[in-house]
Structure 1
Amino acid sequence: MNIVCIGAGPAGLYFASSAKLRDAGHDITVIERDPPGATYGWGVVYWDDLLDALYENDRESAERIRAASTVWQEQVVSMRSTDRSYLAGYGYSVNRASLLEILAERAADLDVDVRYHKAVDDLSEFPDADLIVVAEGANSRIRQRYAEEFGTQIDQGRNPYIWLGTDRVFSMFTFDFEETPEGWIWFHAYPSSAGISTFIAECQEKTWRALGFDRLGNDETLRLLEEIFAEQLAGHSLISSSRGKPATWQRFTQVYNQTWRHDNMVLIGDAAHTTHFTIGSGTSLAIFDAIVLAEKLLEHQQLATALKEFDEEGHAALRMAQSSARSSMAWFENVDRYTNRNANEFCYAMSGRNSGQPPWRYQQHRLTQNLLVRKALRLTGNGLRWAQARRRGESRRQ
């Protein structure tokens, strides 16, 4: 099959490799408008379910991704830098540029033709393509040209946010909420790679304007954020540029498509759907898309049947994640409803922002704030992580 994949992000690159692994006879070209390694943002988070899928699908790239990843344990929620509460659990994070490098090298190893510095504006460039995979992100220009056919719906979140880095290394997934005279502003931070953490600052629109972020330049923005979060940054700096140009304030783009297929085209990853960054699932869902689409192409000789099953099953599987993401985004957009609480109560409300919780859960949450209980939970988490790593066959050197 002659396959053209537009976009060399995680979805496009991993699909190309996954399809080649299943049928080396596929002729696959990945086309990317940006240069190699170009990416917005710093690190991405993921969980054991993604590692399980990576090891099952392609151990070669899974080993490299795991080796490039950092494990963080616990989440800490801080209010005014002093009042803290904790949530148990662990996760993984990996620098996005490192992830793309690994995926691009693996695709090349499998004889995928990856072409950079090439923008695609018209699909007539590919008259011989049996399948065109559109994987060029939430702002996909190809999808926009066929918005009516895909039934595309685009909405913008209300809160401005900016995706930065910092040389302060956070060992936990950290939330810090600071009260200013103009309103509340907060950040989400987690380790991305050696010596660097991802740092996402967010606030409500009224606070953003009152603090002057709509008028400040890049350097002034960083200095003000460093001043507001001075205690948490502990003398460290914020970093704006991740690919040669400074980060800018954005509003989250919610993408929904009634169908992910049209003729011989199919949408995957953020081009097909987005989930708010506060649930940490965007990259995982993109890679799951890639695996499932490759598997459907293997299962069915008829392309139309493969795309139909991918579309229907994908929409059904995504429904819960998108619902959870919308609830999470709405909670942060209305965070000032909860800021009159102490850190324990605030943290508990945040942890239940996208699902109901039984009455006894709050007493359990209070119990887990005890240092000895937290240490016991960390040990339990270490044991669980070790067992899962052995089950999927992770290298012991990791």
Structure 2
Amino acid sequence: MKVACVGGGPAGLYLSILLKLRDPSHEITVHERDAAGSTYGWGVTYWAGLLDQLRRHDPVSARAIGEQSVRWSDGLAHVRDRTTLHHGDEGFGIGRRTLLRILAERAESLGVRVEFRHPVTATTTLTGADLIVAGDGANSALRDRHADHFGTDVAVGRNQYIWLGTTKVFDAFTFAFVETEHGWIWAYGYRYGENHSTCVVECSPGTWQGLGLDRANHDDTLTLLQHLFAGPLDGHPLMGRARSDGGARWLNFRTVTNRTWYRDNLVLLGDAAHTTHYSIGAGTTLALEDAIALAGALHERDMPHLQPALARYERERRAALVPTQSAARFSARWYENLPRYINLDPAEMFALLGQRHSPLLPYVPPQLYYRIDRAAGRLEALRRLKRWLGPRLARTVGGVSTVAGVSAGADRGRGSRPAPPRTPGDPSGR
């Protein structure tokens, strides 16, 4: 096949690698609008399960990614002047620029053409391509040209957030909650290299406006945030990139879903197809898993034609995404309802922070949920009741009736449903 991958992010690059490994005769070009080494964000997170998948499909890139990643296994929460530490599952961090460099070099070594500074906004410029892959992100230009066909829906989150870096090296996945006269503001910090960490700051619209962050320029924003989080940062500076007008890059998270993921020979991949709230740290993992699924569907022996292969890819990934998308929605809601949990005992608050993806938690008094969860960890019968009741209660009140057009019960008859994904700061691993 002649394949055009639009977007040089993890999904498009990894797909090109997998397709070349399966059939070196494929003619594959990755079109990236930005220059080589130019990327947004700082570091990305993932879990050991992703490395296991990467080793199965391409040991070479998996080895390089593993060697360039840093690890942690603890979660640390700062609430006012109190600190709570929990031990949990091992997590990994890697610089986004490093990840893209590894994947681009591996793709080029296999014969993939990677063209930087080459924006593509219409399929008509890709004449002769048998397959066009829209891996151009949540604001996909290729998808938006056919938004009615794809049934694209974008839900805008309530809270404001900003993606920053710091020279403070966090030894654990760190949460910091600071109370101001205008409400709470909090940060997630995690290491992604030997000398740098990512620091995502979030707050409600009222706090954002009350602190003057809606009016502050980029430099003043960093100065204020450094003052508010001086304790967890240990005096280290925050780093960011200003907008062209000098303002700070505050955002509202946009949850993207689509009714269908392909049109003729055009298929959506990664954030162009779906986004999940950053608080569960799953975006990069899901993008790479999309690439694995699409490559597999295209090379199934019983799928000699393109349309059935794309339909299979969409069907499989929709089903796999159900628990993760549900977890992301409930995680975002937990932070939007932070006053409900913040005044608990720090140990209880941190335990519920780790359980924030639970569909049951929003509908049970927090302290009662904490006691049930503690008991469920010891008693198998209560654990089964919790797992059974949560999704049913959520469906009853409309919480997880559908996810991206897929019924929450779409995978009935295939055995037990996948467990909710682990999230940074989940000490239980459940």
CA distance in structure 2 between the partners assigned to 1:285 and 1:45 by the alignment = 11
How far did residue 84 of structure 1 move?
2.2
Percent identity between the aligned chains? 45
- Offset at 1:66? 0.4
Q: Does 1:310 align with 2:305?
A: no
Is residue 253–residue 274 contact of structure 1 (8 Å, CA) maintained in 2?
Answer: yes
- Superposed displacement of residue 339, structure 1: 1.5
Cα deviation 1:38-88 (Å, max 9, x = unaligned): 111100000011001110000011110001000012111110142424252
Could you say what secondary structure the match of 1:250 adopts? Answer: coil
**Secondary structure in 2 matching 1:195:** coil
CA deviation after TM superposition for structure 1 residue 242, in Å: 9.9
**Matching of residue 347 in structure 1 with residue 359 in structure 2:** no
CA gap of 1:27–1:113, structure 2 versus 1, over 3 A, is same
Q: Distance in 1 between matches of 2:20 and 2:199?
A: 36
CA distance in 2 between partners of 1:247 and 1:215 (Å): 9
Residue 32 and residue 308 in structure 1: after superposition, are their counterparts in 2 closer, same or farther (change >3 A)?
same
Contact 2:351 2:370 in 1 (8 A): no
Which residue of 1 is the match for residue 53 of structure 2?
Answer: 53
Equivalent residue of 1:193, what SS?
coil
Q: Verify: 1:155 aligned to 2:155, yes or no.
A: yes
1:341-361 superposed Cα distances (whole Å, 9 cap, x missing partner):
121121122111112578454
Where in structure 2 are the equivalents of 1:63-142 lying within 5 Å?
A: 63-142=63-142
Q: Which amino acid aligns with 2:127?
A: P
User: CA separation in 2, counterparts of 1:105 and 1:23?
Assistant: 18
Question: Residue 218 of structure 1 corresponds to which residue in structure 2?
Answer: 218
Per-residue deviation, residues 138-182 of structure 1 (Å, max 9, x unmatched): 111111111111111011111111110111100000001010111
Which ranges of structure 1 fall in alignment gaps of 5 or more residues? 366-398
Q: What secondary structure, in the 3-state scheme, does the structure 2 residue paired with 1:164 have?
A: strand
Any conservation in 1 of the 2:217–2:248 contact (CA below 8 Å)?
no
Contact 1:164 1:247 survives alignment (8 Å): no
SS at structure 2 position matched to 1:251: coil
**Residue 271 of structure 1 aligns with which residue?**
272
Q: After superposition, what is the alpha-carbon deviation per residue over 1:68-124, rounded to whole angstroms, capped at 9, x for unaligned?
A: 000012111110142424252220010000000000000100110110111112211
- Measured in 1, the distance between the counterparts of 2:87 and 2:341 equals 17
- 1:285 & 1:351 partners in 2: Cα distance? 20
Match of 1:250 in 2: 251
| Distance (whole Å) between structure 1 residues aligned to residue 17 and residue 131 of structure 2 | 15
Q: 1:40 matched to which residue of 2?
A: 40
RMSD: 1.9
> How far does residue 329 in structure 1 lie from its aligned partner after superposition?
0.6
Q: Specify the code of the residue in structure 2 equivalent to 1:333.
A: E
1:350 partner amino acid: L
CA distance in 1, matches of 2:242, 2:183: 29
Q: Distance in 1 between matches of 2:223 and 2:185?
A: 15
* Aligned residues of 1:81 and 1:177 also touching (Cα < 8 A): no
Q: State how 1:198-217 maps to structure 2 within 5 Å.
A: 198-217=198-217
- Partners of 1:7 and 1:247 in 2: how far apart? 25
Amino acid of the structure 2 residue aligned with 1:318: L
Aligned to 1:40, the other structure's residue is in SS state coil
**SS in structure 1 at match of 2:342:** coil
The answer as to 2:206 corresponding to 1:194 is no
Structure 1 residue 295 displacement after superposition: 1.0
1:20 to 1:81, Cα distance in 2 relative to 1, 3 A: farther
Q: Is the 8 A contact 1:348 1:362 kept in 2?
A: no
* Counterparts of 1:364 and 1:192, CA distance in 2: 34
Is the Cα contact below 8 Å between 1:254 and 1:275 reproduced in 2? yes
Distance across 2 between alignment mates of 1:156 and 1:109? 40
1:81/1:231 contact within 8 Å kept: no
Distance 1:83 1:331 in 2: 20
**Structure 1 residue 21: Cα displacement:** 0.5
Say which of 299, 320, 323 aligns to 2:323.
Answer: 320
Q: Is the 8 A contact 2:32 2:117 kept in 1?
A: yes
2:159 is paired with a residue whose SS is strand
Match of 2:363 in 1: none
Q: Distance in 1 between matches of 2:248 and 2:64?
A: 28
Q: Secondary structure at the match of 2:253?
A: strand
- Of 62-71 and 237-246, the range deviating more from structure 2: 237-246
1:334 counterpart = 2:346: no
Q: Identify if the C-alpha distance between structure 1 residues 257 and 156 changes in structure 2 by more than 3 Å, giving closer, same or farther.
A: same
Which piece of structure 1 moves more, 328-337 or 2-11?
A: 328-337
In the TM superposition, what is the alpha-carbon distance from 1:208 to its structure 2 partner?
A: 0.4
Match of 1:362 in 2: 374
Output the CA distance in 2 between the equivalents of 1:212 and 1:53: 45
Could you tell me whether the CA contact under 8 Å between 2:79 and 2:346 is conserved in 1? yes
Residue identity matched to 2:166: T
Q: Is the 8 A contact 1:164 1:200 kept in 2?
A: yes
Q: d(CA) in 1 for partners of 2:84 and 2:130?
A: 55
Structure 2: where are the runs of 5+ without partners? Answer: 361-368, 378-430
Displacement of 1:241 after TM fit? 3.4
Distance 1:178 1:246 in 2: 23
Deviations 1:249-298 (A, max 9, x none): 11111000111111101001000001111111100000000011011111
Report deviation, 1:362.
Answer: 2.9
Corresponding residue for residue 366 of structure 2: none
Task: Give the stretch that moved more between structures: 318-327 or 235-244.
Answer: 235-244
Q: Distance in 2 between matches of 1:18 and 1:81?
A: 49
CA distance in 2, matches of 1:246, 1:212: 12
Letter in 1 for 2:190: Y
Contact 1:40–1:242 at 8 Å: present in 2 too?
no
How many residue pairs are counted as aligned between the two chains?
366
CA distance in 2, matches of 1:349, 1:74: 16
User: Which amino acid letter does the alignment assign opposite residue 255 of structure 2?
Assistant: Q
Contact 1:158 1:333 in 2 (8 A): yes
C-alpha distance in 1 between matches for 2:51 and 2:242? 26
